[in-house]
Amino acid sequence: MEENKNMYCYKYPHPSVATDCVIFGFDGNDINVLLIERGIEPFKGLWAFPGGFMRIDESAEQCAARELAEETSLEVKYMEQLKAFSAVGRDPRERVVSIAFYALVRLKDVQGGDDAARAQWFPIHSVPGLAFDHDRILREATSRLREKLCFEPIGFDLLPEVFTMGQLQRLYEAILDVSFDRRNFAKKILKLDLLIEEGNRPDNAPTRIPRMYRFNKEKYDELKRKGIKLEF
């Protein structure tokens, strides 16, 4: 690599590398994704995932977190890599390889950040036409989310700290696009033994007042350390 008139020069052409972030949220009924309206060409006016070009001194993971924070003021604990998208024509300007990530957040966490850009949540079944190959990225991310939910209790990242069994069930139903019997669902979840009952609901509480639970993260981390695989 040589520098030349403040340019970075290479013997062979190099693609650009970018990241895209698929951020999932749950509004109590539907899975939502966070999109940004593009202010510049190409695809000006269309919606796209937050993301941007990777700097030479950062990893793709760092890039994704930085771009997400810049564009949406969202700080996400953990983003997981989906995969790289590298079709030749996926960006009309130049050759861009994009490494896509996905993360789950509590919807309320981002409400304050919406002013940072034209960022907006869309229910996953009402997503508008997307820029670039982001439709495809969304499809693959959704499918990965679904698979992952069957093996790891990631759903709790989408709910408030304290939640009811009904909320949890609606979340699972929204992601997996199925419906469960209420009683069987509760039995199955409780059998995992990863929920802590929260507060002290009196025995004589009126039935309309639901039990509250929180996720037992410590216990889950311990199980994971021991390499135990759980399955929903």
Cis peptide before 15 (omega within 30 of 0): no
> Rounded distance, CA 139 to CA 105, Å?
19
Residue 32 contacts residue 122 (beta carbons within 8 Å):
yes
At 114, is the secondary structure helix, strand, or coil? Answer: helix
Q: Write down how long the chain is.
A: 232
Q: How far is the CB of 193 from DNA (least distance, A)?
A: 11
For DNA, give the closer residue by CB, 42 or 210: 210
For tokens 């995969």, the residue is: 83
Q: Does 188 bind DNA (CB under 7 A)?
A: yes
Candidates 75, 78, 83, 108; binder of a second copy (CB under 8 A) is: 83
Interaction pattern, residues 36-75, with a second copy; x per rule: CB under 8 A: -----------------xxxxxxxxx--------------
Candidates 87, 128, 210, 221; binder of DNA (CB under 7 A) is: 210
The pair of three-digit structure tokens given for residue 117, joined into one six-digit string = 């850009």
Q: Does 177 bind a second copy (CB under 8 A)?
A: no
Candidates 22, 97, 165, 195; binder of a second copy (CB under 8 A) is: 97
At 102, is the secondary structure helix, strand, or coil? Answer: strand
The pair of three-digit structure tokens given for residue 221, joined into one six-digit string = 């981390």
Q: Does 226 bind a second copy (CB under 8 A)?
A: no
The DSSP string of 70-124 is: HHH----S--EEEEEE--TTSSSSS-EEEEEEEEE--GGGGGGGGGGTTEEEEEG
Chosen from DNA, a second copy, none, partner binding at 165 (C-beta under 5 to 8 Å by type): DNA
Q: How far is the CB of 64 from a second copy (least distance, A)?
A: 10
Q: Which residues bind DNA (CB under 7 A)?
A: 164-167, 181-184, 186-188, 191, 206-211
Q: Which residues bind a second copy (CB under 8 A)?
A: 1-2, 4-17, 53-61, 81, 83-84, 86-88, 94-95, 97, 99, 147, 151
